[in-house]
Amino acid sequence: MPLSQRATLTRFLIEERRRYPDASGDFNALILDIAIACKAIARAVASGALGGVLGNHGGEQASINVQGETQKKLDVISNEVFMRATEWGGQLAGMASEEMDDPYPIPEGYPRGNYLLVFDPLDGSSNIDVNVSVGSIFSILRAPQDLIDSGRPLAAEDFLQPGTQQMAAGYALYGPATMLVLTVGSGVHGFTLDPAIGEFKLTHPNIQVPPDTQEFAINASNSRFWESPVKRYVDECLAGKTGPRAKDFNMRWIASMVADAHRIMMRGGVFMYPRDTKDPSKPGRLRLLYEANPIGMVMEQAGGRASTGREPVLGIKPTSLHQRIGLVFGSRNEVERIERYHAEPDSYRDTNPLFAERSLFRD
Ligand code: AHG
Ligand code: MN
Ligand code: MN
């Protein structure tokens, strides 16, 4: 279909709303404002070290430039772009993000709405300096009714809802093309930014994650810290045709979860940033509310699966705003296999020399 005939994001949302007459117009306005934020961030990212209208100067630390102007890190700038694009419209009761320790209430003077927005404004930001794809991740929750009714101050607890409660979730990917991938609870749809007119156009309706894969993604430099079910899974992949899986696997690691997730959305695969023993105070690397839950909802809405290895991610009741979690997602049959390995008696630990050696110290 010629690009000019494709549905824009606006048209898609209006038509979805017709299919679900209970859906609120507010909600569509919020998603369109998020899309505006993503377009602005896409421009800032594309300017790279040149900087641009948003004052971005690459991914460097905030510093004072020769003119005495403060240069901000691109993830801080992206955070501000998200806030400014969405705080004014009357849809939100508050927001929370990776870049803010505390929840952000809607400023006086703007109407308060019924939704909460949670986001990672720039995921994979260590890739900025090397010009590798990054993205933004977002999740929309309904605000607790008593917050809406009472007008009491916003609290971190308002955000501590399991991922099953998300009203919508998605991500933008700032890659060779800028894409917005979105679920409002009825499948996952991908939109590509048409730079000629600055509109997102529906290019990937009804994305389905293939249930099987021969591709996995994990940071192998952490392997000595992995728990044995993860070690077993990866060892079996590496053993390829000659191992128990009887097929060769390929490995990819972009170090921007959003880009790894998008590859998996397009052609299948499994992504793991599991709980490990590297830092016992951290139950995983990635954040539940604005990384694991939105990507988890997108995966599950596309027929994939998202898990900690032990339980579905979306069922977890969060205990803090910036909580970390072990995360495994992607092709359904592979994620289920990894869950099985976690559930089975740990024969791999007993027979694997690596773990046998370690147990000398433990016992
Ligand atoms: P962020 O840039 O928002 O802090 O997230 C980075 C995350 C995630 O995108 C990626 O998968 C992971 O960190 C990379 O971790 P390693 O540096 O261990 O590869
Ligand atoms: Mn991130
Ligand atoms: Mn980030």
Q: Are strands 215-218 and 250-251 parallel, antiparallel or unpaired?
A: parallel
Per-residue pLDDT tens digits for 249-269: 999 999 999 999 999 999 999
- pLDDT beyond 80 at 60: no
Per-residue pLDDT tens digits for 261-302: 999 999 999 999 999 999 988 889 999 999 999 999 999 999
**199-26-18 Cα angle (round to 5):** 75
Determine the atom of ligand 1 nearest the C-alpha atom of 286: 7
Q: Tell me, using a 6 A CB cutoff, whether residue 120 lines ligand 1.
A: yes
Identify the pLDDT of residue 345. 83
212: Cβ contacts below 8 Å, ≥ 6 apart: 268, 331, 333, 334
How far apart CA 59 and CA 81 sit, in angstroms, is 16
Identify the pLDDT of residue 346. 78
Per-residue pLDDT tens digits for 125-181: 899 999 999 999 999 999 999 999 998 999 999 999 999 999 999 999 999 999 999
Per-domain boundaries in the chain? 3-204, 215-343
- pLDDT beyond 70 at 66: no
Per-residue pLDDT tens digits for 33-46: 999 999 999 999 99
Identify the pLDDT of residue 103. 98
Identify the pLDDT of residue 1. 64
Identify the pLDDT of residue 54. 56
Q: Tell me, using a 6 A CB cutoff, whether residue 123 lines ligand 1.
A: yes
Q: Give residue 359's pLDDT band: very low, low, confident or very high (50, 70, 90).
A: very low
Q: Give residue 50's pLDDT band: very low, low, confident or very high (50, 70, 90).
A: confident
Tell how far the Cα of 309 is from the centroid of ligand 2, in angstroms.
20
Task: Return the exposure string of 119-136: e unless at least 16 CB atoms fall within 10 Å of the residue's CB, then b.
Answer: bbbbbbbebbeeeebbbb
Q: Which of 285, 289, 290, 327 to mutate to test the pocket of ligand 1 (most atoms within 8 A of CB)?
A: 285
Token output for 159: 């955000």
Tell how far the Cα of 93 is from the centroid of ligand 1, in angstroms.
29
Identify the pLDDT of residue 51. 79
CATH architecture of the domain with residue range 215-343: 3-Layer(aba) Sandwich (3.40)
Task: Tell me the CATH number for domain 3-204.
Answer: 3.30.540.10
How far apart CA 116 and CA 301 sit, in angstroms, is 20
- HSE-CB at 208 with a 13 A cutoff on CA atoms is 3
Q: Are 288 and 326 in contact (CB under 8 A)?
A: no
- The residues that bridge with 134 in the sheet, in sequence order, are 174
Q: Give residue 63's pLDDT band: very low, low, confident or very high (50, 70, 90).
A: low
Residue 130 in 3-state DSSP? helix
31: Cβ contacts below 8 Å, ≥ 6 apart: 9, 13, 140, 168, 182, 184
Q: How far is CA 95 from CA 31, 49, 99, 102, 337, in A?
A: 14, 29, 11, 9, 36
Identify the pLDDT of residue 354. 61
**Order of strands, sheet of 250-251, starting from the edge strand that comes earlier in the sequence:** 250-251, 215-218, 270-273, 327-330, 305-307
Identify the pLDDT of residue 217. 98
How far apart CA 96 and CA 360 sit, in angstroms, is 45
Token output for 76: 């801080």
Share of the chain above pLDDT 70, in %: 89
- pLDDT beyond 80 at 20: no
Per-residue pLDDT tens digits for 189-222: 999 999 999 999 999 999 999 999 999 999 999 9
